[in-house]
Structures are given as C-alpha cells and as structure tokens.
Amino acid sequence: MSSPVWHPFTQHALTPEFPVVSRGEGVWLETDKGRLLDAISSWWVITHGHRHPRIVAAIKAQADQLDQAIFANLTHQPAEDVARGLIEIAPRGLSHVFYSDSGSTSVEVALKMALGFWNNQIKPRTRIIALEHAYHGDTVGTMSAGARGVFTTPYAPLLFDVVRLPFPHAGREQETLDMLKVAARDAAALIVEPLILGAGGMLMYPPEVLRALAIICRRNSTLFISDEVMTGFGRTGTLFACKQAGVSPDILCLAKGLTGGSLPLAATLCTPEIFEAHYSQDRSRTFFHSSSFTANPIACAAARANLEIWRDEPVMERITALGAMQEERLERFRGDPRFSNVRRQGTIAALDLTVADPGYLAGIGPKLSAFFLDRGILLRPLGNTIYVMPPYGITAAELDLVYDAIAAAGAKFT
Ligand SMILES: *Cc1c(COP(=O)(O)O)cnc(C)c1O
C-alpha cells in the first residue's frame, strides 16, 4: 500500500519513495538505504549535531516532570530560564520574550506585535516593508512578507501587499537604501533576514548594508524586525547576525537552532516600548496570540540545555573552525567555469552550478539532490544553488566527502 503521508515541499508524482530514517548521531542519519551525511543540518535546524547528549538528557528529565501546561494561566521554570538566558545573549535593548512553535509563527507574532504597537499610537501605521527574494515562512502572513513566485501563486488573493525593496546587490546597495528612505516614512516595520537570505538562494549582503537599513528605520521610527530564524545561534559566524552589524532590532525572531534543532520551539523578542504599548488596564490592548503548545516545557528544557552548551562548550571556536574549513574547500571552485558566485557567510557556503536553465521548475535542484543522495550526502540545492550548512561538529574528513560530491556533480551536470 502506498503511504498516506503527504510530505512538505514535495512533488509526490516525481518522488516515488523516501528513505526511512531511524537514527541520528552527530552529522549522520541512518536510513534503510544506508548512512547519510546531513550537510544541511536537517533543514538548517541542527546546530551542534544530532542528539547532543546534554539536550537528550534534558528532554528525558523534563518529560519525567511535566509534559505540557497551559501557558496563559501558568508559567514554568524552563520557560523562565530560557527567556532570561535569551535576553542576556540577545542584541541590546530587547526585554521580553514571546514563545511560539515555529519560525513562521515567530514571524507572524513579530508582524502582529508591530501592528499592535502602531495600533496603540496616536498616528497608527500598518505597512510592512520587506526585501526582494525574502523568505519568512509558509503561513499566509509570512508568505505575504516573502517573495512572490511559483510557491505563492495559488494563494495570491489571500496575501497582503508589502513595500518590496530591491535586494542590495553589490554595487547597487544605494538603490535599496534610497527606496527605504522613502518607504520608511510611514511604514510600521521593515522585516529582513540579516546578512543572508536563505530560501531565496543563499544571497549574501554585508553588515554595513544591514546597519544602514537599521539606521534609516530608526530615523523614521519604523520598527526593525530581524528574522534570525536561520541566522540565529551562530550560523553567520556570530551568535546573531545582527551583532556583526552592531544592530539592535526592535523585534528578533528565533526558532530553528533555539533547541539545538532537537524540538520545535520559537521565540519572538521585543523592546520595552513594544511590550508597554500592549500593557494596559484596557483589555482590548492585550496581545491576542497563542497556540496550544506555547512554551512547551520539554521544548523549553531542550532550549535551556542548548543555552548551557553555548555557555560551557567552545561552540564559537567550532563555528570559526567550520568557517575556515568551508573557505578552504570552496577555493577549488573559484575560477572553475562550471560554478559561479562562490560565497560564504560564517558557517554557510554556497555556489551556483552553471546550467542552461537554472529556474526552480527546470528541476535541476531535485536531480542534484538525487545525485547527492546516491552518494550518501544529504544536500538540497535551491534550483542550481548548492549550499553546505552542516552541524558545527562536522570534521574535515566529513566535509571533504561533501565537497567531493559537489565536484562530481559539476562534472556530471554541466
Ligand atoms: C525556516 C525559516 C522560517 C520559517 O521557519 P519554520 O520553522 O519552517 O516555520 C522563517 N524565516 C526564515 C529566515 C527561515 O529560514
């Protein structure tokens, strides 16, 4: 019997079967078809490696104490500890932590916080500004902020309009900044993925541009929302991408790496001004958002263990070492005509395969994925953009396996 499971972002007509994964350890996933090297951190969530012992132990211990509790009427220690821990390490100026369950919901919460803030001002603002090629999630609100294309066409009638800034391509950054200067005058918020746009194709821009965007927002009282769902927890070489640019956002979205990638949990951090705009004897000013599993205690315990790992282990050293290892291995592809745009931001490396039709629907991405899967490497190119985003604990020899497979793909597909 064929499986009743409907997989995400999957064209089932073209993907007849899936390896069954049964175990994870470090960078490896064991499946019924053999071992896979997880070079994309299982969709960008795994930071330290699969099943870090401290996170596993924390999950087990918490499951023995409290599984789930309503978070509107009650609080619990894991959630309190994680919130305090996050405020300590987050960019300066953030004072409150709102929990949810996924990156998409953390962004929905951010957008609602921004609108809620402005709704309680004398001159309300409602418009959102976002970047070309942005990705902020797959719910209706986050799709609205994200780039429009084949992924959103059927849902277009439901999406709200945003002001779209051109991506700050090298040499054309001023265009983006000039457009923001006009748009920010009466906008509620700008939302960005700091330093690197992930799903849009691993497009990178420098900290100076991020800083310039934030400064324009500040001058115009436009809220600055940093979607660090992917970049948070070290991906770009610093704990948060914003820190590299000396930027303090008004709202910060975190998810993927928050639990080390072990369990779903998200957090939206905000400034005292945003919290206080909702703080009132008037119940109509309440922040009306919740989900059943807000601040699930087991997920919070995993996040607390993750924060302890960041405190106690040389995670930043591993990140710096991984960045250097990635850079060394990218070197052989620079100047190779079969590849272009060889680039890196912290632990994330990316390069574009030279093909006649790089469009998403041209299907080079799935062909490449299948090619890598055959070689025991889990990679999931975005069209012709191959990227390597492994867990931080990957060894040099393991990373070589990934890059040898990429070189082989270059030989086969160009
Ligand atoms: C993955 C991602 C999201 C959505 O997170 P989910 O947990 O998949 O809902 C939002 N923003 C960015 C930048 C992401 O990379």
| The 187-192 sheet, strands edge to edge | 96-100, 266-270, 251-254, 223-227, 187-192, 127-131, 163-165
User: What is the distance in A from the centroid of ligand 1 to the CA of 104?
Assistant: 5
Average pLDDT (10-30) is: 93
Average pLDDT (23-52) is: 98
Q: Does the pLDDT value for residue 2 go beyond 90?
A: no
Q: Which residues pair with 196 in a beta bridge?
A: 204
Question: Any residues with CB less than 8 A from the CB of 148 and at least 6 apart, and which?
Answer: 156, 159
Domains 12-48+315-413 and 54-312 share a fold: no
Q: Among 135, 157, 156, 154, which Cα is nearest to 146's?
A: 135
Encode pLDDT of 192-242 as tens digits.
999 999 999 999 999 999 999 999 999 999 999 999 999 999 999 999 999
Encode pLDDT of 89-111 as tens digits.
999 999 999 999 999 999 999 99
Decide which of 118 and 357 is more confident. Answer: 118
Encode pLDDT of 254-291 as tens digits.
999 999 999 999 999 999 999 999 999 999 999 999 99
Burial class (CB in 10 A: 0-12, 13-18, 19+), 94: buried
- Write out the CATH class of domain 12-48+315-413: alpha beta
Q: Does the pLDDT value for residue 15 go beyond 90?
A: no
The C-alpha atoms of residue 239 and residue 313 are separated, in whole angstroms, by 14
Question: What pLDDT is recorded for position 356?
Answer: 86
User: What is the distance in A from the centroid of ligand 1 to the CA of 205?
Assistant: 19
Q: Measured from the CB, is residue 197 less than 6 Å from ligand 1?
A: no
The C-alpha atoms of residue 254 and residue 32 are separated, in whole angstroms, by 33
Encode pLDDT of 27-39 as tens digits.
999 999 999 999 9
**295: confidence class by pLDDT, cuts 50, 70, 90:** very high
Average pLDDT (293-322) is: 98
Residue % of the chain over a pLDDT of 70 = 100
For domain 54-312, the question of CATH label 3.40.640.10 is answered with yes
Q: Measured from the CB, is residue 198 less than 6 Å from ligand 1?
A: yes
The single-letter code of the amino acid at 174 is Q
User: What is the distance in A from the centroid of ligand 1 to the CA of 137?
Assistant: 5
Residue % of the chain over a pLDDT of 90 = 96
The C-alpha atoms of residue 108 and residue 113 are separated, in whole angstroms, by 9
**From atom 5 of ligand 1, which residue's Cα is the shortest distance away?**
103
Q: Measured from the CB, is residue 230 less than 6 Å from ligand 1?
A: yes
Domain coordinates in residue numbering, the chain: 12-48+315-413, 54-312
Question: What pLDDT is recorded for position 1?
Answer: 62
